[in-house]
Structure 1
Amino acid sequence: MSGIVESAGTEPARQLPEGQGGVGLPEGNAAQYPTLRRALLDAALEVFTERGYTDAGLTEIAARSGIPVGSLFQHYGGKRGLYLALWEEFREEQERRTAATLAAERDRGVADPVALFMAGARAYLEGAWDNRRLGRLVAEDDSPAGFDALRRQWDRAWVRRNARLLEVDERQRAGRVRVSVLTTVIGGAARELGDCGDETEAREIVDEVCGILIHLTTPPSSSRTP
């Protein structure tokens, strides 16, 4: 999971493929949904983080949330639905953060594609630190069946959006590979941030990675000495 994301308004609304999200709420429960949802997702994150996805138990998640197991199934369809909802929450928060940063930079008159990309990269990495528990969870190999394919699908979409942000012609292999490398670097750094001991170390990593990205965003022809 990586990449800098343009505003969600630049593409059709994105959602989990049919059958991969949670189960809809019955009529009449909509007003209770935000509180119930938060309780279930917070409890799921705790149990997944402590025990891993495979060993996490729905009974324990329900007990910690204070919500019956039957309601958990009704709203999320089980453990897989909870996990995917957490991933969606992390991804959407990262998108909101980077989109807001890009909008603010453009309002200041910044138009250079590389400058915008770097601002978005820093925002994404800072978000990975702020949301490190969620980020660490979805970066682990212990995940629901089929999740890797879903994650790769979104990663490919993020690479395409990054290419547009950098104004790279995706028809040219060199440019496409460069954007893919940049996106991979950001994703790898985001995973490292999840294991940082404190904010000082996290900021050092963000600064270091941004320096690497600046170097990588320089076209080869621009760095050659005449």
Structure 2
Amino acid sequence: MSGIVESAGTEVARQLPDEREGMGLPETPTGQNRTVRSALLDAALEVFTERGYTDAGLTEIATRSGIPVGSLFQHYGGKRGLYLALWEEFREEQERRTAATLTAERNRGVDDPIALFVAGARAYLEGVWDNRRLGMLLVEDDAPAGFDALRRQWDRAWVRRNARLLEVDEKRRAGRVRVRVITTVIGGAARELGDCGDETEAREIVDEVCGILIHLSAPPS
């Protein structure tokens, strides 16, 4: 999962330039049929959620999408490509959401690093709730080979971005540990949101976690 970011868009491409090639992430050619891609991703999410990644079948995904298996391979290269495309879609949407929140807060005159960080964390967690089916799929252990390495790589970038937002000196071990703990709290809260029964419970969790983050984010006296 992605974290609190300073800017939306393609930051992953700038920070992890070899990610697509190394992990087999599908390219998005100009002019590609977005309707076909959307139908395939929607069907893949349904089947992955119901059966898990390992037991999901490409034939079932193609059938539910109404798209031939051949087109599935053409657009995504197989099951792994579908999963990674879902991950990228979720991550980029979360980045857009948190970046827009940070921009709005700064435009209101907010410049306190902790206030900005907590506002971004709230936006991120609200996004997890809004997209909880996809979010929960992506934190499960049942994933393509090599995905854990990709997720860890992104988690490290997430910690670095949070450190910049909180203006923490990453050269100091205490600062690094504090930001890593805070980032872990957000990740744990995201998993809890997936098990919420309704929006009221989800909002209670988000409020509680933001209170914890305010406390944890304060620099030591």
TM range (shorter): over 0.9
Contact preservation (8 Å) 1:2, 1:184: no
Residue 210 of structure 2 corresponds to 210
- Residue 185 of structure 2: SS of its match in structure 1? helix
Contact preservation (8 Å) 1:23, 1:74: no
1:3 and 2:3 are equivalent in the alignment: yes
How many Å apart are 1:24 and its aligned residue? 5.5
Q: Paired residues, what number?
A: 217
1:98-109 → structure 2 map (5 Å cutoff): 98-109=98-109
Residue 21 of structure 1 corresponds to 25
Residue 124 of structure 2 corresponds to 124
Structure 1 pair 12/198, CA: closer, same or farther in 2 (3 Å)? Answer: closer
Q: Provide the rounded CA distance (Å) in 1 between the counterparts of 2:12 and 2:82.
A: 24
Residue 170 of structure 1 corresponds to 170
Q: Provide the rounded CA distance (Å) in 2 between the counterparts of 1:85 and 1:162.
A: 24
Q: Provide the rounded CA distance (Å) in 1 between the counterparts of 2:146 and 2:106.
A: 38
Residue 93 of structure 2 corresponds to 93
Q: Provide the rounded CA distance (Å) in 2 between the counterparts of 1:209 and 1:11.
A: 26
Structure ID, larger Rg:
1
Q: Deviations over 1:71-98 (max 9, x none)?
A: 1001100000000000000000000000
Q: Provide the rounded CA distance (Å) in 1 between the counterparts of 2:78 and 2:13.
A: 25
- Please report the TM-score for the alignment, with normalisation by the length of structure 2: 0.93
Q: Provide the rounded CA distance (Å) in 2 between the counterparts of 1:65 and 1:197.
A: 29
- Residue 21 of structure 1: SS of its match in structure 2? coil
Aligned Cα RMSD in Å?
A: 1.7
Residue 52 of structure 2 corresponds to 52
Q: Provide the rounded CA distance (Å) in 2 between the counterparts of 1:23 and 1:160.
A: 26
Residue 159 of structure 1 corresponds to 159
Contact preservation (8 Å) 1:163, 1:169: yes
Q: Deviations over 1:119-147 (max 9, x none)?
A: 00100000000000110000000000000
State the one-letter code of the partner of 1:84. L
State the one-letter code of the partner of 2:103. A
Contact preservation (8 Å) 1:2, 1:187: no
Contact preservation (8 Å) 1:3, 1:184: no
Contact preservation (8 Å) 1:44, 1:61: yes
Q: Provide the rounded CA distance (Å) in 1 between the counterparts of 2:114 and 2:53.
A: 38
Residue 74 of structure 1 corresponds to 74
State the one-letter code of the partner of 2:115. A
How many Å apart are 1:3 and its aligned residue? 2.6
Residue 224 of structure 1 corresponds to none
Q: Provide the rounded CA distance (Å) in 2 between the counterparts of 1:24 and 1:2.
A: 20
Q: Which runs of 5+ in 2 are unaligned?
A: none
